Structure 1
Amino acid sequence: MFFRSYFDEKLAQYSYMVACQKTGEAIVIDPARDITPYVETAKKEGFRLTAAAETHIHADFVSGARQLANDYEATLYLSDEGDENWKYQYVDQLSADLVKDGDVFMVGNVEFKVMHTPGHTPESISFILTDRGGGSVAPMGIFTGDFVFVGDVGRPDLLEKAAGVKGTADTGAAQMYDSIQKFKQLPDYLVVWPGHGAGSACGKSLGAVPLSTVGYEKANNWALKETNKEQFQKELLKDQPEPPKYFAMMKKVNKIGPSVLTNESIPYVEHLSGLEKYLNQEDVIVIDTRNGHDFADGHIEGTINLPYTKIFTNWAGWILDYDKQLVIIAEKERQIEIQKSLQSIGLDKIVSFASPAVISEVETLEKYTNIDVEQLKAQYDKDDVYVIDIRQQQEWEAGRLPTAHHHMLGYLEEAIAHLPQDKKIIVHCQSGARSAIGTSLLQAKGFKNIENAEGGFASWKKANGEIVYS
């Protein structure tokens, strides 16, 4: 048997390839939309990509299962659990096997047994792997998807918070408890291959270790140690972070079937003349991926700053409009990587990339001022200043500036109508990365008397600034 894991650090997402070396057949578990890594591995090792499987209808990224079925005629193994609201709607177009609890399927001589593990979502399933070709009758491990993570379990509130399905959080929490009782009956030696690691919004305290065992999680995972169902439900639902707005879109896309990607290239323009037709257009968003300092020193009016860092994909999903066309200002060598990052969450309407050099051709650039903690202290309590804290709710509740107003970055655009037009606005987050994004967003929406507090709340706290608590 052959095994390999893949990790997308921008989505904190794991996917896996398992292959039977005797038959040359390979399956990908929870494939990302960019199937290039799996294709490259299969080519290198001499495998055929004959199957793909999903643990559930994903909410945080676009699945690559349909792409594998389209490009390689891979058979898809998809959940047939859950009610009519959680059924895949594109399976009639492809070779697909809908599976339920207890079903078994083979990829070459490798066995996969389906275990229904609802809680994160009603249709969630896990796959127990046994290497029959290697002569084993005992299972090796379990692909848990968003059911059991290292140190945590999947959140059950996404349907309610992100998709607006009322009453599902409590039901999901109860189902999660029952699923965990089934999980605890598995052999302690079984390896746990989760769908996510630290940084994912699919749980609140995921570990950064890529795998675990059933026994280790029973001994160390709070969710597996809690024996009171009511207390478990209460703890599981407490302090869950805000789910990104794009999660509802991802659920819809993966349910009805993602579009198949083609090899069509996206233009890359080197001069302002190639970009001008997109500027100041209501149906176009121009994204500048340079770092916050360079952006603050001069940028094209109306552009939004989304530096291409680890947080790029998440915040792109939060703040970009899926109905609008996208133009990306970035270095040419980053074009393909950025394109794949955006497409991984379904932002497919990229019409052009542009060189950062076009900015120097603009006659009048827009700027904003970065301030340090002492400059913030000197004006945070003035009547003509409005301080915006764009951190998440739990960060806000753990301590804040006395005069700050909470408008979390992901919901900042909805708050614009309620912001004062006659005051200076100072934006801050925890360290300065998110506030740079927020400052650019507000400036693009017409708030010109604006400053970004570098160092954020962390610097404020270190400088012994006054703090209030909820």
Structure 2
Amino acid sequence: MLLRYFYDEKLAQASYMVGCQKTGEAIVIDPARNIEPYLKEAEKEGLRISATAETHIHADFVSGTREFAKRLGTTAYLSDEGDASWKYGFASEIDARLVKDGETFKVGNVTLEVMHTPGHTPEHISFVLYDRDQTVPMGIFTGDFVFVGDIGRPDLLEEAAGIQGTTALGAKQMFQSLKRFKQLPDFTQVWPGHGAGSACGKALGAVPTSTVGYEKATNWALQMEDEAAFVKELTTDQPEPPNYFAMMKKVNKEGIVVTTEVDRPRLAEANTVEELVKTMQVVDTRDGKTFGAGHVPGTINIPYNSKFVAWAGWLVDFNQDIAILAATDQLETIQTDLQSIGLDRFVTLIDVEKLSASQLTESYPDWTADKAIAAAEAGDVYVLDVRNKTEWEKSHYEQAHRILLGKLVARHEELPSDQPIAVHCASGVRSRMAVSVLQSLGVKNVINIEGGYAAIEDVLDDSKIATAR
């Protein structure tokens, strides 16, 4: 048997390929939409990918199950658990095998057993792996059920998908699912669907794999025996889910076009940017400080780094065309990145290096923390905190007002129009994106506070620091 681990650091998403070297068959568990890495690995190992399996309808990336099935004719093993709301709408279009708790299926001489593990979502299943015909499990693919050091959050259906009343029920289901998990042999390896940085839990570890025994000994969720206390802990202090999670639930349930049917973005001349801003979203991928010194009015700033995909999911509208200002040799990687969360309307790329100084007519000032706080105390500026809820509740400037960066587009009209707005995050990275978003929405009198709340805290008197706990 062969086992390969694939990890997308931009989405903190893990997937796995299991191969039977005797028969040459392989299966991919929770594949990403970009299937090329799996195909290359299979070719290198002399394997043919004949099947995929999904632990649940994902909310944080576009699944590659339909991509595999439409392009290669692979069989898809999909959950048949949960009620009618949690059935795969695209299953009838492909060779899908709907599976329930306790069922098994084989890929070559490798056996996978389905374990229904609801809690994160109602239809969630895990796959217990057996090599050959052995009765002793080698490991379990847990998806968003059990992570290293944490477990899947139960509130996404309510917070991101708007399905009311599901959080408490999901937490109770998770408690029961964990009881089953703890019955597996301690040596059973645990292969989760995410690592540190994912919004699918609140304290995921950075180590890629674990064992049942280790999680029983160290994972907070497996230590708790009182259901009510467990439910309270699990549903407290979860991070705010990105805007795009609701869209991911939709496309992964109903299906999305295969990437080979999406047009390649066209290259446009730099002198067209001002016109493009009038008709589509234009994203400038330069670093925040460079953008702040001069940019095209109407553009927003999402630096092209490891967080680009996540912030694009927060800030870019799925229903509008997208133009990107970046180096031309980044076109294919940016398109792949955007497609990983279903942003298929990337239609234009402009070489950012060819923009002229005469086009970069808008900027914003950077203020030190002491200057900003002095102005705030004098009533001369409105301080906007764009950090998440957990950061805010831990500690914040008493005169600040909070709107999460990802919610600025929807809530910017709450901001005052009669005074400057000084924006901060934790360190100064998110606030620069926030300022760009506000400027693009017509809120022009904005300031970035350098160093973020870390710098602000250094100059604040203790009496000016508040908590929400």
Change (3 A) 1:274 1:280: closer
The alignment partner of 2:113 has SS state of strand
Q: Indicate the residue corresponding to 2:206 in structure 1.
A: 208
2:161 to 160, 163, 168: 163
**Residue pair 2:296, 2:359 contacting (<8 A) in 1 also:** no
1:141 aligns with 2:139: yes
Offset, 1:464: 4.7
Whether 1:301 and 2:301 are equivalent positions in the alignment is: no
Which residue is equivalent to 2:2?
2
Which amino acid letter does the alignment assign opposite residue 15 of structure 1? S
Matched, 1:287 2:286: no
Check whether the contact 2:89–2:254 (CA below 8 A) recurs between aligned residues. Answer: yes
**Counterpart residue type for residue 55 of structure 1:** T
Deviation (angstroms), 1:336: 1.6
Residue 96 (structure 2) aligns with: 96
Kindly indicate whether the alpha-carbon contact (under 8 Å) linking 1:75 and 1:96 is maintained by their aligned counterparts in 2.
yes
Give the match's secondary structure for 1:49.
strand
Summarize the Cα distance change of 1:363–1:275 in structure 2 as closer, same or farther, 3 Å threshold.
Answer: closer
One-letter code of the match for 2:139? G
- Aligned residue for 2:148, secondary structure, equals coil
For 1:407 and 1:98, locate their aligned partners in 2 and report how far apart those are by CA, in whole Å: 42
1:61-76 equivalences in 2 (<5 Å): 61-76=61-76
Query: Which of 324, 347, 367 lines up with 1:371 in the alignment?
Result: 367
CA contact (8 A) 1:384 1:422 kept: no
Q: Distance in 1 between matches of 2:137 and 2:433?
A: 47
Alpha-carbon distance in structure 2 between the residues aligned to 1:305 and 1:375: 25
Name the residue aligned to 1:323: 319
Cross-structure match for 2:453 = 457
User: Who is 1:236 aligned against?
Assistant: 234
- The answer for unaligned runs of 5 or more in structure 2 is none
The answer as to whether partners of 1:272 and 1:361 remain within 8 angstroms in 2 is no
Out of 182, 186, 195, the position equivalent to 2:184 is 186
User: Which whole-Å CA distance do the structure 2 matches of 1:121 and 1:338 have between them?
Assistant: 30
**Structure 2 counterparts to residues 23-422 of structure 1, below 5 A:** 23-132=23-132, 136-262=134-260, 264-269=263-268, 271-281=269-279, 284-360=280-356, 362-363=358-359, 365-422=361-418
Contact kept, 8 Å, 1:34 with 1:340, in 2: the verdict is yes
For the residue of structure 2 that corresponds to 1:318, the secondary structure is helix
Q: Please say if 1:21 is aligned against 2:21.
A: yes
Give deviations 1:315-366, integer Å, cap 9, x for gaps: 2111211110000011122222211111111111011111112421644511
Q: Which amino acid aligns with 1:24?
A: G
Identity of aligned residues (%): 54
CA distance in 1, matches of 2:359, 2:179: 65
Deviation of 1:136 (Å): 3.9
- Normalised by the size of structure 1, how large is the TM-score? 0.96
| 1:10-44 Cα deviation digits (max 9, x unpaired) | 11110001100011111110001111110110111
1:57 deviation in Å?
0.2
Give the letter for the 1:27 counterpart: I
The whole-number CA distance in structure 2 between the counterparts of 1:57 and 1:46 is 30
Cα deviation code 1:237-269 (max 9, x no counterpart): 011111111111100100001211117422123
Give secondary structure in 1 for the equivalent of 2:16.
Answer: strand
TM (norm. structure 2) is 0.97
Give the letter for the 1:353 counterpart.
L
Q: Residues of 1 paired with 2:54 and 2:130: CA distance?
A: 18
Cα displacement (A) at 1:403: 1.4
Structure 1: segments with no counterpart, 5+ residues:
none
CA distance in 2, matches of 1:400, 1:5: 40
CA distance in 1 between partners of 2:159 and 2:423 (Å) = 26
Q: Secondary structure at the match of 2:150?
A: coil
For 1:104, the aligned partner's letter is T
RMSD: 1.3
